[in-house]
Amino acid sequence: MTHPQPPPLPPPGVNPEARIGAIRTAIDHLLAEASAGNSGISSLDDLTAKAARLLVGGGLPLDRLSLSVIPLQPGHDGVQFWWELEHIDAVRSFHRTADFFVEEQRRNTVLNHIRDTGEPLRLRLESLPIEAISFDFLVKLKREGFTDYLAMSLFADGTYQAALTLATRRGGGFRGSDLQELQRLVGSMGLAVLARYRERAILNTWSDPLTGLINRRRLEQRLTEAFTAKLEISLLLFNLDEFSAYNGQFGNFCADDCLMAVSRVLLAASSGKTYLPARFGGDIFALVLAGAQAGEAEAIGRQVMAQVLALRLAHPGSSRSPFITVRVGLAVLAPDDASSMAMVTRAQDGLTAAKAAGGNCLIRA
Task: Return the higher-pLDDT residue of 198 and 84.
Answer: 84
What is the tens place of the pLDDT at every residue in 231-242?
Answer: 888 999 999 999
Nearest alpha carbon to residue 54 among 38, 76, 36, 31: 31
Give the domain ranges of the chain.
16-202, 216-364
> 16-202 architecture in CATH?
2-Layer Sandwich (3.30)
The 3-state secondary structure of 97-157 reads CHHHHCCHHHCCCHHHHHHHHCCCEEECHHHCCHHHCCCHHHHHHHHCCCCEEEEEEEEEC
Question: Burial code of 237-261, b = ≥16 C-beta within 10 A, e = fewer?
Answer: bbbbbbbeebbeebebeebbebbee
Nearest alpha carbon to residue 25 among 61, 59, 67: 59
How far is CA 47 from each of CA 14, 29, 36, 156, rounded to the nearest angstrom?
31, 11, 11, 18
| pLDDT winner (highest mean) among 88-97, 227-236, 352-361 | 352-361
Q: Does the predicted TM-score (pTM) go above 0.85? A: no
pLDDT number for residue 73:
81
Cβ contacts of residue 11 below 8 Å, gap of 6+? none
| CATH for 216-364, options being 3.40.30.10, 3.30.70.270, 1.20.1250.20, 1.10.3720.10 | 3.30.70.270
pLDDT number for residue 259:
94
pLDDT number for residue 20:
66
High-pLDDT (> 90) share of the chain, %: 40
What is the tens place of the pLDDT at every residue in 1-57?
Answer: 344 444 444 444 444 455 567 888 888 888 787 666 544 455 788 888 888 988 888
